[in-house]
Amino acid sequence: MAHELMLEITKMNSSYSPVIINEPSQWDEIVDGSRSLVIFIDDIFGKTNLDKKYLSAWEKRFDAMWACSSEGKVLLIIGCRKNILEEGKSTFEKYDLFKDEHTMDLSSPRYELSSNDKTGILMSYCIAFGVQTPSIPFDRNTLDKVLSHEEIRTIAQQRTLVGFPQLCNLFFTKPSFFEKGIDFFIHASEELVKDISFLRRRKRSEYAVLLYALLKNNCILSDDLDEQLMTDVCKVLNTSTLDCTDVQDLIVEQPLIAYLERSPVKKPLYQLKHITIFEAVLKSVSTSYPEFLLEHAHPNVLMSYIRSAN
């Protein structure tokens, strides 16, 4: 959502350049007052729990970030989980940057998708993926891809733990999920974990790419791999070593196309599409290769692992 918002802003005002920042030090390197920027910082203080080291590093820059935003030179979008904001409330409430009037809780009923909204999303995906939606009785065996009006209505009424747009993306881009129909939306988290585990057992090269992305804190630069880390990953999985070309080929095909997305802002960058996918991969790796995870993972990933273990 934030990526699309950035692109819309730059379309409306071409003087702004989109930038994704992942580390506090990057703010100092990129923001110098000479350029108009729309900046996105996702999971600024950690993916699943408050990383106090990151909080301390970012806090030194809060006043400068607010000043740049107030002047309009920088349009700033910050992504942060609700539980992390609550955990660090005593710190955040001291800064204008995090005042209530400057925050949006996308999980609140105010921004919750209605059944009509969900139906519209489903119908748009059906059109995009060539899924037929007959309103009259039909023989499912005679149609390739189909969702009945009743199935669409039932799916649209589900209250899902995972974000509905993300579920739709997975549902329509991965054939095995589409085949499960309504059950996928009811048991999405379990289905994700099962599918990641299947890749570990049967598709080691694809699993290696997901493991690499996890260890690199959800970041694959497809033209600049950490060759030593990828070698170590493939060795522990007992599969052939992958180079840049191998990875570039894998990430645009099934099954990885359902799990990874290309950043519209930083072109060689691929990331796991959603935190729920990140967590499913983390659960699989921490169960099957805990020592390897502890030895090779980015500190932010280890913090997520510690939280999930508790």
215-267: per-residue pLDDT in tens?
998 889 878 889 999 999 999 999 999 999 999 999 989 889 999 988 765 66
Contact 244, 234 (CB under 8 A): no
What is the topology classification, in CATH, of domain 2-109?
Answer: Rossmann fold (3.40.50)
172-203: per-residue pLDDT in tens?
999 999 999 999 999 998 999 999 999 999 99
152-164: per-residue pLDDT in tens?
999 999 988 778 9
254-287: per-residue pLDDT in tens?
889 999 988 765 667 888 888 889 889 999 999 9
Contact 269, 261 (CB under 8 A): no
- φ/ψ (deg, to 5) at 56: -60, -40
* DSSP category for residue 132: B
- The H-assigned helical ranges of the chain are 2-12, 24-30, 52-59, 62-71, 82-87, 89-92, 115-128, 149-156, 164-173, 175-180, 182-186, 188-202, 204-215, 227-237, 244-250, 275-288, 290-296, 299-309
- Neighbouring CB atoms inside 10 A of 101's CB total 5
Give the integer Cα–Cα distance in Å for 296 and 285: 12
121-141: per-residue pLDDT in tens?
999 999 999 999 987 666 666
Helix crossing, 227-237 with 204-215: angle to 10°? 130
Q: Which residues share a beta bridge with 272?
A: 260
